[in-house]
Amino acid sequence: MSEVTINTEWLSDCSGCHIAIVDLHEKIMNVLQAVKIQRCPVLTDIKDYPKATVGLVSGAIRNEHDRHAAIEMRKACDIVVAWGSCAVFGGPAGAGNIHTPEEIVRAVYLENKTTVSAAAPSSEVSPLESVVSPIDQVIEVDLYLPGCPPHPAFIFEALSALVEGRQPEVNRRSVCAKCKRQMVKTEVTAIKSNSEGIPDAEQCFLSQGYTCMGSVTIDRCLAPCPGNGVPCTGCAGATMQILTEPNRDIRTEIAERMSRLTRIDREAIVLSLERGAKSHYSYTMASSMIGKKPTFHIKKWIEDENEDYEAGGLA
């Protein structure tokens, strides 16, 4: 077998996916024995796109530069992997799709409430495209590895499988499958915000009335957040059930389970999730699987919340 070469590229994202490669620690030696890393923004100084067997592309398409880089990677690489939630689903930048680029530039540069206002950059950085796109809207993708970032164990398995020419061993279970909290039925009657009270360390967040997205999120992390006292925010994107079934959704699936575990009314949970939709859907809303669901009315939900806020009573 000829040597496996790898290019990586980094579009609109935070760099976490590239850092996750470094988090392989000594295991990276096993990978390096079998592959040759060429272009890799955090490890090498190669600026062009040499021919490669595998291309790992992290980040969403946010501007003209991202689009150009994604197309160049596709031309140079035999297998392109959408690597991380931004590349697969658009990631947190997808929340920008609720606003126009002009609104975003105005809020960030011109009318920023927390820093000194300044003109938006006009050189070096290419302008924002009208929407944030997952990379498969622009180039063909061979494999998808969601996660924010994917836990190094999943990256290692994916790279090893590609090198050995076999199917990777993956499961489609949710974050709950790796969370050790006890999911018990309780008499809790109201939803709590994350800043309210001190959650029990042993009991499931849903059982306690806290919104946790573990049950609707694919496990590409091994559940570190709920294991350390922080409810899941859904960073690896929705489970396959939600993505395949238009009549299932993040808010309805959470409400279904939480209302059976507690005494909280199902509709109250759905409403609460709609009001916080910008957070709950942020990682995936740029993806058509979520953003184009006929039941996804985020602009209306945000307007409703603003109206209630202006009227002086948050629901």
Partner 1 sequence: MSLEIAVHEPSCRGCELCIDVCPTKVFELDAEQRLCVVKHAEDCIACLSCAYICPSTAISHSGYHAVKNFYRDAEFCEKMGKFL
Contact set with partner 1 (CB under 8 A): 81, 136, 141-146, 154, 157-158, 168, 170, 172-174, 176-179, 181-185, 204, 206, 214-215, 239-241, 243-248, 256-257, 260-261, 288-289
**Rounded Cα gap, residues 122 and 72, in angstroms:** 24
- Least distance (Å) between residue 238 CB and partner 1: 10
The label of the residue with tokens 């970032």 reads: 149
SS3 state of residue 260:
helix
Q: Strands 77-83 and 143-145, how do they pair?
A: parallel
- Least distance (Å) between residue 86 CB and partner 1: 16
Nearer to partner 1, 151 or 275 (CB): 151
Angle at 57 between CA 52 and CA 61, to 5 degrees: 135
Nearer to partner 1, 207 or 282 (CB): 207
Nearer to partner 1, 174 or 272 (CB): 174
The DSSP secondary-structure symbol of 241 reads H
Among the listed residues 217, 205, 211, 193, the one whose alpha carbon sits nearest the alpha carbon of residue 290? 217
**Rounded Cα gap, residues 226 and 177, in angstroms:** 11
Nearer to partner 1, 117 or 244 (CB): 244
Angle at 178 between CA 175 and CA 179, to 5 degrees: 85
- Least distance (Å) between residue 141 CB and partner 1: 7
Half-sphere exposure of 195 (CA within 13 A, CB side): 0
- Least distance (Å) between residue 170 CB and partner 1: 5
Nearer to partner 1, 95 or 206 (CB): 206
- Least distance (Å) between residue 304 CB and partner 1: 26
